[in-house]
Amino acid sequence: MGIPGIGEAIADIITRLHRTGTHPSLERMRSEIPEGVLEMLSVPGLRPDKVLKLHKQLGVTSLEELQVAARQDRIKNTKGLGPALQRKVLQGLEIRTAALGARHMHRAAELIAAAEKNLRRALPGLKRIVPAGDFRRGCELVCDLSLVAEETRLQRGPELVNAAFDGSFRLFKGIESDILPDGSLDYPDDVLRQFDFIVASIHGQFRMDREAQTDRLLRAVANPFVSILGHMTGRQLLRRAGYDGDVEKVLKACADHGIAVEINANPWRLDLDWRWHQRGLELGCIFSINPDAHSIAELDLMRWGLAMARKGGVSADRVLNARKLRDFSDWLEDRRGRIAPTRAGWRAAGHSVGRGRPSRLRARKISATRPPHAKRGRYRIRSA
């Protein structure tokens, strides 16, 4: 102890926060103030006392409502708030939007087209370039400008690694695809087709009502390209509650369609919550413990996912990525067998396709000996 200015009361609060990650008064305050009000703190130049005033006097509970209130001159005309604050709010909101890099759709389209042209000039080996991210999702304002490119030469990387290990080790290639509000995925089938596995997850549009959100998830689960349903509830611990949805119904659908339920090992997520694991097992689900790694170091997050699966009572035989290499690749092959092959799709994947519609059997055989690969993806490493 003995830190100047820190008495017993504050020391107690700090200790509690450290030990439990929270404090009763913090929880009380959190329950009193809507989450959207806290978001208003991200508006440049808006101090906490002003945010509280705007909330208490105008009932504003989100950034959207704040913007409406300012546009309707309600801040200006309220006693104790006034024109100066309104100006500050409008200015702050504008700065915030610019800082987030949002652009209108038509401007984003121009920038993406220019980027594509540059990329083609710099790397003539690129086979196919498609816009991704916000633009692809049809957002009115586009924050991220991303392109997905496939390159013939790089595509062979995993194949070369796999060949070098001669069957004792295999690199599988997968990608996390966004579940759009209507339940479809954000990549076209011809891109999805080229991966060994697809993790489908929701990353935006959390505010849909329970029924719509459940339908969205159910549609994704029924998609034959999907192998794993990622972080099913979207919660982030100590940050947000996640979206509303009927977990039981979605688990049942995962079991029916043979889709693995992710146990996301990132300590922020740990989603699906271990409290649901038993119910998932009863319904016939299998799980996949995934590090959700965005770097090599984050592969080590696996241990937290394992800890949760153990806490939830999930045995190894119900964990997809605890299986032997052979069983794991058989499972993936079986999933891929549900995808109806199209000639254009196989050609895009670099296969020679004869006349007529390729039979499912033939397509599967090709994929077993020569798995097609694209450049970007989430890699999963497994050994026998």
| Smaller CB separation from Zn ion, 178 or 196 | 178
CB of 275 to Zn ion, least distance (A): 21
Asked if 290 touches Zn ion (CB under 5 A), the answer is no
Distance, in Å, from the CA atom of 323 to the CA atom of 334, rounded to the nearest integer, reads: 15
Angle at the Cα of 213 from the Cα atoms of 271 and 144, rounded to 5 degrees? 75
SS3 201: strand
| Smaller CB separation from Zn ion, 106 or 294 | 294
In the complex, residue closest to Zn ion by CB? 201
CB of 233 to Zn ion, least distance (A): 12
Of 50-89, which residues contact Zn ion (CB under 5 A)?
none
Do residues 261 and 221 make contact, with C-beta atoms less than 8 angstroms apart? no
| Smaller CB separation from Zn ion, 89 or 228 | 228
Tokens 């119900």 correspond to what residue? 318
Distance, in Å, from the CA atom of 134 to the CA atom of 108, rounded to the nearest integer, reads: 10
CB of 259 to Zn ion, least distance (A): 16
- Residue 187, phi then psi, degrees to nearest 5: -115, 145
Q: Candidates 67-75, 197-205, 221-229, 242-250 — which segment interacts with Zn ion by CB under 5 A?
A: 197-205
Size of the site for Zn ion (CB under 5 A): 1
CB of 239 to Zn ion, least distance (A): 14
Q: Which two tokens stand for residue 151?
A: 């390159």
CB of 175 to Zn ion, least distance (A): 11
CB of 228 to Zn ion, least distance (A): 11
Distance of CA 109 to the CA centre of its chain: 24
Distance, in Å, from the CA atom of 374 to the CA atom of 194, rounded to the nearest integer, reads: 6
Q: Candidates 24-32, 109-117, 196-204, 329-337 — which segment interacts with Zn ion by CB under 5 A?
A: 196-204
What is the sign of the dihedral through the CA atoms of 304, 305, 306 and 307?
positive
SS3 sequence, 14-53? Answer: HHHHHHHCCCHHHHHHHHHCCHHHHHHHHCCCCCHHHHHH
| Smaller CB separation from Zn ion, 201 or 367 | 201
Asked if 201 touches Zn ion (CB under 5 A), the answer is yes
Q: Candidates 18-26, 104-112, 195-203, 216-224 — which segment interacts with Zn ion by CB under 5 A?
A: 195-203
Of 182, 186, 262, nearest in space to 217 by CA: 182
| Smaller CB separation from Zn ion, 228 or 319 | 228
| Smaller CB separation from Zn ion, 78 or 205 | 205
Asked if 227 touches Zn ion (CB under 5 A), the answer is no
Of 186, 226, 225, nearest in space to 203 by CA: 186
Other Cβ atoms less than 10 A from the Cβ of 375: the count is: 18
CB of 133 to Zn ion, least distance (A): 13
Q: Candidates 201-209, 218-226, 280-288, 348-356 — which segment interacts with Zn ion by CB under 5 A?
A: 201-209
Other Cβ atoms less than 10 A from the Cβ of 241: the count is: 12
Q: Candidates 85-93, 124-132, 200-208, 316-324 — which segment interacts with Zn ion by CB under 5 A?
A: 200-208
| Smaller CB separation from Zn ion, 201 or 321 | 201
| Smaller CB separation from Zn ion, 40 or 247 | 247
Q: Which two tokens stand for residue 194?
A: 């080229």
- Can you give the binding site for Zn ion, defined by CB under 5 A? 201
